[in-house]
Amino acid sequence: MCQSKGLCVSTKLVLEVAKEKAIELGRDLKCSNGWFEKFKKRTNLRLGKIHGESKCVDKRKVDEWKCEVIPRLVLEWQSEFIYNCDETGLFWRQIPNRTYFFSKHEHGGDKIFNERVSILFCVNMKGDKEIPLVIGRSKKPRCSYGGWLDDVNVIYRSQENSWMNTSLFDEWLTNWNQRLINQGKKILLLLDNFSGHKVDFSKFENITFKFLPSNTTSFTQPLDSGIIHSFKAKYLNLMIKRFISEINMGKLSEIMKNLTLLDALNWIDIAWKEITSQTVTNCWSHSGYVNLDITPEMIHDYEIELENTLNEFANVSSGSCSSKDLLSQVTFDYENFFD
């Protein structure tokens, strides 16, 4: 019930509810911390973070957007000219390994890597994809050399915290707007109210900006409806296959240490190319923009592929987490971090 209402379940809340129920039932229950520890074990209760914004979505705004705004947009713009852009964070090398241990024995694990990049994705309703913009911390990573990005179809930029900011967004829009001018095209861009998007919009004459209602993007933004999730599943699948091919060469942490940002950029490139136009259009449809036959199975095919690869990895390693756990581990909650 608490989760359905978006409430955080704290120790104090559990103890208070338990006291009330005990009084109702006429039982003498000492709701101590010791009782709570036993309650956690009996019910398999675990402490964790609430991810995403789905519990605080304004349903009224969602309905208004889908029933009133979208029909007008679709009438005014053809599908090939309606775009959506959004950022996501990716911890680009993450060990997919966990194991049980006896508490009285040593259980030191492999090194944890926390390097992160931010990625800006952009797609249109027709299913076309723009080249992703990847933002890392280093201007000249150790793996860089002359022409190091020639064979990788991504745009790489650096920022001290590897975050999107107004300067980088302005540069990306400026380059895109010039290409649109050269092509004689004008487009509509749907985007959220992230602070890094607050630029001088009047400079971009070939781009019309339309902001999604606040606290609705999990329901109104196509990229949040399965496209980014599918991309990360594909990326992780490529990374785990590397682990499997090199697992006999040493500890997993050593294999991970030898991975470079260029490896990650290659996997980002490959994973993004493998997201099909059908997946993109399905996610637009799922968000209410077009009336097509939705095949949600396609959106989850990539996660099934990742789960199969993780099962293969478990055969050569001491243990492996699930695809959902791994997707959660590598994801940086961009929107909720900044909002």
The burial class, CB within 10 Å (0-12 / 13-18 / 19+), for 79 is middle
Q: Between residues 94 and 119, which one has the greater pLDDT?
A: 119
Q: What is the mean pLDDT of the segment spanning 127-140?
A: 94
Distance CA 35, CA 64 (A): 47
Distance CA 20, CA 239 (A): 50
Q: Between residues 172 and 334, which one has the greater pLDDT?
A: 172
Q: What is the pLDDT of residue 190?
A: 98
Q: What is the mean pLDDT of the segment spanning 87-104?
A: 65
Q: Between residues 3 and 76, which one has the greater pLDDT?
A: 76
Distance CA 206, CA 203 (A): 9
Give, for 272, the enclosing helix (H) or strand (E).
Answer: helix 261-273
Torsion angle of the four alpha carbons 6, 224, 311, 319, in this order, in degrees rounded to the nearest 10: -50
pLDDT digits (tens, 9 = 90+) for 176-204: 999 999 999 999 999 999 999 999 999 99
Of the candidates 211, 281, 269, the residue with the CA atom closest to the CA atom of residue 235:
269
pTM assigned to the model: 0.73
Structure tokens of 242? 């590397």
Q: Where are the beta strands (DSSP E) in 185-235?
A: 187-191, 207-211
3-state secondary structure 91-130: ECCCCCCCCCCCCCCCCCCCCCCCCEEEEEEEEECCCCEC
Q: What is the pLDDT of residue 12?
A: 58
- Residue 169 near residue 118, CB atoms below 8 Å: no
Distance CA 288, CA 82 (A): 13
Structure tokens of 68? 């009133």
**What mean pLDDT is reported for the chain?**
80
Q: Between residues 242 and 109, which one has the greater pLDDT?
A: 242
Q: What is the pLDDT of residue 51?
A: 45
- Residue 134 near residue 92, CB atoms below 8 Å: no
Q: What is the mean pLDDT of the segment spanning 223-248?
A: 89
Q: What is the mean pLDDT of the segment spanning 309-337?
A: 59
Given a cut of 50, whether residue 175 has pLDDT beyond it is yes
Q: Between residues 232 and 315, which one has the greater pLDDT?
A: 232
Given a cut of 50, whether residue 108 has pLDDT beyond it is no
pLDDT digits (tens, 9 = 90+) for 247-283: 777 777 788 888 889 999 999 999 999 999 999 999 9
Q: What is the pLDDT of residue 274?
A: 95
- Quick one: pLDDT band at residue 44, thresholds 50, 70, 90? low
- Quick one: pLDDT band at residue 31, thresholds 50, 70, 90? confident
Q: What angle do CA 208, 271, 278 make, to 5 degrees?
A: 60
Q: What is the pLDDT of residue 141?
A: 82
Rounded-to-5 percentages of helix, strand, coil across the chain: 50, 10, 40
Cα 179 to its chain centre, rounded Å, is: 28
Q: Are β-strands 82-91 and 331-332 bridged in parallel, bridged antiparallel, or unpaired?
A: antiparallel
- Quick one: pLDDT band at residue 101, thresholds 50, 70, 90? very low
- Residue 205 near residue 187, CB atoms below 8 Å: no
Residue at token pair 């990650």: 264
Q: Between residues 245 and 132, which one has the greater pLDDT?
A: 132
Distance CA 135, CA 310 (A): 28
The burial class, CB within 10 Å (0-12 / 13-18 / 19+), for 193 is middle
